[in-house]
Amino acid sequence: MRNKFIFYLAFLIQAFVYASSPTPKVVLAIHGGTADHEEIPEALEKEMLQGLSDSLTAGYRTLKTKGSSLEAVEAAVISLENNPLFNAGKGAVFTAQGKNELDAAIMEGKTKKAGAVASTTVIKNPIKAARAVMEKTRHVLLVGEGANQFAKKSGLEMVDPKYFYTERRFQEWQKSKLKKNQTKQSFSPTPWNRHFSLGTVGAVALDPQGNLAAATSTGGLTNKMHGRVGDSPIIGAGTYADNESAAISCTGVGEYFIRYGVAHEITSLIKYKSYSPQKAADTLIQETLKPQGAEGATIVLDPKGTIAFSYSSQGLPRGYVTDDGVIHLFIFEKETKVPASF
């Protein structure tokens, strides 16, 4: 009887300790754009999970060594821009003219400083250019040739436009053109079809000083009009960070995210109506945009390290790493865990 009592006492103590132990807070989260099962076969899924893991590892390593959420989101996004599987940097989609035009933005939540570039064509890592705009100019957004020239003068790595070519994206463009010709589809914002190839990448982070940061990078929509700019480089639409509410990075049909000011709207719901990050994200993605037929997603990280993902697609390549160094990865609902390595 005594042994039984001791056993139950030990069990209760263990349960109490487990229940009272703080859940490791999220310090970095990323996304790789909306997705469905048809687009991501099993072999590609494994490669994408590895790409997400590499991005989180790069960002986590930077956060631990340099201690800045801004540095962390930049490092995480650079990793995704360099990975041809994602629609940013090397893996950017093609415009209607058969070219690659890239956009990116970065923002930190303490002072709300931000920088962005749009319609760049020769900057290897647009997210670096966005940060340079934030730190080296009095502006927020530079576009086209002006952004290209500024990046070159800032000493950033420039590449031949052919660098961005990938066979996968080229074939997507060919199929998109064929489908458009068959259906005589215009570029009307409603409805948008899957063949427009969504796939923006983004990151949000929280550093030990309590500062939030967000970064987003994209090649936009397949077969988009020359000069078209989506929500990613628009502060308050696809990217936003505020230490008093949350850091946000979005992906989806940018026209809708711009119209509804999605990123800023989410932070406002958290800040002024005390919504949880998940409720605020769902309010915009599921209740506001989804009824409009606008596919999209967002990742939200608050000052407490609480993460929220909301998406109206079948899946969202995404992941996060907690302050204990454990990486959590998803594309659809199945979770994969791996330790961050240096």
155-185 pLDDT, tens per residue?
A: 999 999 999 999 999 998 898 877 665 455 4
- What average pLDDT does the structure give for the chain? 89
Residues of the chain above pLDDT 90, percent: 77
Q: Catalytic residue at 251? A: no
Core vs surface per residue 222-255: b (16+ CB within 10 A) or e: bbbeeebbbbbbbbbbbbbbbbebbbbbbbbbbb
Please compute the mean of the pLDDT values over residues 274-294 and round it to a whole number: 97
Confidence band of 21 (pLDDT split at 50, 70, 90): very low
pLDDT for 126 equals 98
Domain boundaries, the chain: 25-339
Q: Which residues pair with 29 in a beta bridge?
A: 204, 320
| Mean pLDDT, residues 271-297 | 96
Residue 3: band (very low, low, confident or very high) from pLDDT cuts 50, 70, 90 = low
Kindly tell me if the per-residue pLDDT of 206 is higher than 60.
yes
State pLDDT tens for residues 22-60: 678 999 999 999 988 877 888 889 999 999 999 999 999
Predicted pLDDT of residue 14:
41
Query: How confident is the model at residue 187, as a pLDDT?
Result: 47
pLDDT at 179: 67
- Amino acid identity of residue 303, one-letter, is P
Q: Please tell me the distance from the alpha carbon of residue 308 to that of residue 4, in angstroms, as a whole number.
A: 43
pLDDT of residue 338: 87
- pTM over cut 0.85: yes
pLDDT at 181: 59
Give the model's confidence band at 11: pLDDT under 50 very low, under 70 low, under 90 confident, else very high: very low
Lowest mean pLDDT among 42-46, 129-133, 182-186, 337-341: 182-186
Q: Looking at residue 28, what is its pLDDT? A: 98
Cα 259 from chain centroid (whole Å):
19
pLDDT at 268 > cutoff 80: yes
Set 57, 62, 95, 200: catalytic member = 200
| Residue 317, pLDDT above cutoff 60 | yes
Give mean pLDDT, residues 118-137: 98
When pLDDT is averaged across residues 203-211 and rounded to a whole number, the result is: 97
- At the topology level, CATH places domain 25-339 in Glutamine Phosphoribosylpyrophosphate, subunit 1, domain 1 (3.60.20)
